[in-house]
Amino acid sequence: MKKKQDKWPEDRIERVGLRIKRIRGDRNWTQAKLAMEAGLDPGTVQKIECGYHEAREEKYDAIANALNVNKTAFFDPNPHDALSVLYTLFEIDAHMPITIENNGNQRSNRFNLSFSDAKLNGYLEEWAARKCYFDTGEKTGQDKAEYNLWKWNFPDSETKEADKKKSQLQQRINKLKKQIEILQVQLWNM
């Protein structure tokens, strides 16, 4: 039996609010915390989440920035380009889970999707890899939150992950350079 909060609203503005609430919930944030991080009045956040009124674009931008997600994750899918089609599939998966079976190194889908858009096929390949990993074995709430964060930030999440790895490598290089300098000084003093 579905909980009351799982009922999907008929009104588009309510659906936007529910998606924002879902993302905020994955962060374990209160409405007050989201309001503070977004620079908004707590009552405004409450009204947006409850679907009482449609916010101006800058408020959605502030909420998306505070939650560190792509604003596209808030709105009803509009499959007019490759990224929008992927968000449509994310939305379908949230309500009618899509199963992707993993057979060793090959992914075997119960159904085949093929598109003439190479970018969309690339998006689907990346999503399938993430979803296969997430769907296998026991995952924690943190794993689910990270998976959702990846979805809500896609494709920026790929860039952010690469930037994070690059930053970590640069920090390691800087540490090694300092160690080399210390060794050179020690060698010089011998």
Predicted local confidence at residue 123, as pLDDT: 83
SS3 state of residue 109? strand
In a domain, 61, yes or no: yes
Residues 105 and 67 in one domain: no
In a domain, 130, yes or no: yes
Residues 56 and 18 in one domain: yes
| Rounded CA separation 151/145 (Å) | 10
Residues 99 and 147 in one domain: yes
Domain count, the chain: 2
| Rounded CA separation 68/134 (Å) | 21
Domain of residue 37, CATH code: 1.10.260.40
Q: Tell me the torsion sign for CA atoms 175, 176, 177, 180.
A: positive
Q: Which domain holds residue 16?
A: 4-74
> Whole-model pTM?
0.57
Residues 57 and 101 in one domain: no
Residues 94 and 120 in one domain: yes
Residues 102 and 143 in one domain: yes
Amino acid at 155: P
Predicted local confidence at residue 4, as pLDDT: 43
Strand segments, DSSP code E, in 55-175 are: 100-103, 106-109
Predicted local confidence at residue 162, as pLDDT: 62
Predicted local confidence at residue 3, as pLDDT: 41
In a domain, 91, yes or no: yes
Residues 68 and 119 in one domain: no
Task: Please say which residue of 56, 74, 92 terminates a domain.
Answer: 74
Residues 65 and 99 in one domain: no
Would you say 23 and 146 are in contact if contact means Cβ atoms under 8 Å apart?
A: no
Q: What is the full per-residue pLDDT of the chain (190 aa) written as tens digits?
A: 334 445 556 788 888 999 999 999 988 999 999 999 999 999 999 999 998 888 898 999 999 999 988 888 888 877 777 788 888 888 778 776 766 554 555 555 445 566 677 777 788 888 888 888 888 777 787 888 888 888 878 877 555 566 667 777 888 888 989 989 888 888 888 8
Q: How would you classify residue 102: left for phi > 0, otherwise alpha for psi between -120 and 50, otherwise beta?
A: beta
What residues contact residue 11 under an 8 Å CB cut-off, 6+ apart?
51
Task: Please say which residue of 31, 55, 74 terminates a domain.
Answer: 74
In a domain, 186, yes or no: no
Task: Please say which residue of 42, 57, 74 terminates a domain.
Answer: 74
